[in-house]
Amino acid sequence: MITPSYYRRRVIEAERTPNAKIRCWKGKPVENNSWWPDVSDKNGAEKAIMSGFVAAAFVACVTAAIALVSIFLHKPILGIDGFGLVDATIFAAIGFGIYRKSRSSAVLGLVVYLVERIYMTVTNGASSSAGVMTIILSLAFVHGIRGTFAYRKLSGQASIEHAPLTSGE
């Protein structure tokens, strides 16, 4: 059970840390929320980025496993056939891009995932377990987007489009 002394201890710890932000709700400090992580600092942004990376890696591994089993059995499983290996490769590349903190990879990951889920729902029908998994993975991809954009903003790096042009002299 969380006692009032726990809250006092958290405030004291935060006061000792320079530039510490105390997130409060109803006057009490709150811990980081895994359903909607705080991306106001680099550490939080990196955790959110890892959520997107894990989602892409999970989708790639599960799709590859199902595709390999469908190749072995010579029939589609859950609507995935041997061409699912192409999808797995795409998600592996997207996951690598998210891991490297690429904003475009994070956005592409969410878009490709949602398009594939819509296609699978239209062709194979919807199930409640797939719906729950879709929501959880979509949320993880959204965290990846939030994390990559926040990390870029917090690191102060200029984007490639706005980089100054230099001559080769």
- The residue ranges of every structural domain in the chain are 1-31, 45-156
**Angle ∠(66,69,74) on CA atoms, nearest 5:** 120
Task: Identify the pLDDT of residue 161.
Answer: 46
What is d(CA 142, CA 162) in angstroms, rounded to the nearest whole number?
Answer: 25
Under the banding of pLDDT at 50, 70 and 90, the label for residue 2 is low
Q: Report pTM.
A: 0.72
Q: What average pLDDT does this structure show over 137-142?
A: 95
Rounded mean pLDDT of 82-94?
93
- Write down the pLDDT at residue 18: 53
pLDDT reported for residue 158: 44
Q: Are 20 and 14 in contact (CB under 8 A)?
A: yes
Task: Judge whether 64 and 54 are in contact, CB under 8 Å.
Answer: no
For 162, the token pair is 């706005």
134 has pLDDT over 60: yes
pLDDT in tens, 118-128: 988 888 777 76
At residue 120, the pLDDT reads: 85
Share of the chain above pLDDT 90, in %: 47
- Rounded to the nearest 5 percent, the helix, strand and coil shares of the chain are 65, 5, 30
Average pLDDT of the segment spanning 87-100: 96
**C-alpha angle 136/137/143, rounded to 5°?**
95
pLDDT for res 109: 96
- Alpha-carbon distances, residue 163 vs 97, 106, 157, 160, 166 (angstroms): 21, 21, 10, 5, 9
Q: Pick the residue with more confidence: 1 or 24? A: 24
Helix (H, G, I), strand (E, B) or coil at 157: coil
27-83 pLDDT, tens digit per residue, is 665 565 667 888 888 888 999 999 999 999 999 999 999 999 999 998 888 878 888
Q: Which two tokens stand for residue 106?
A: 């994070």
| Ranges 9-23, 35-49, 69-83, 137-151: which has the least confidence | 9-23
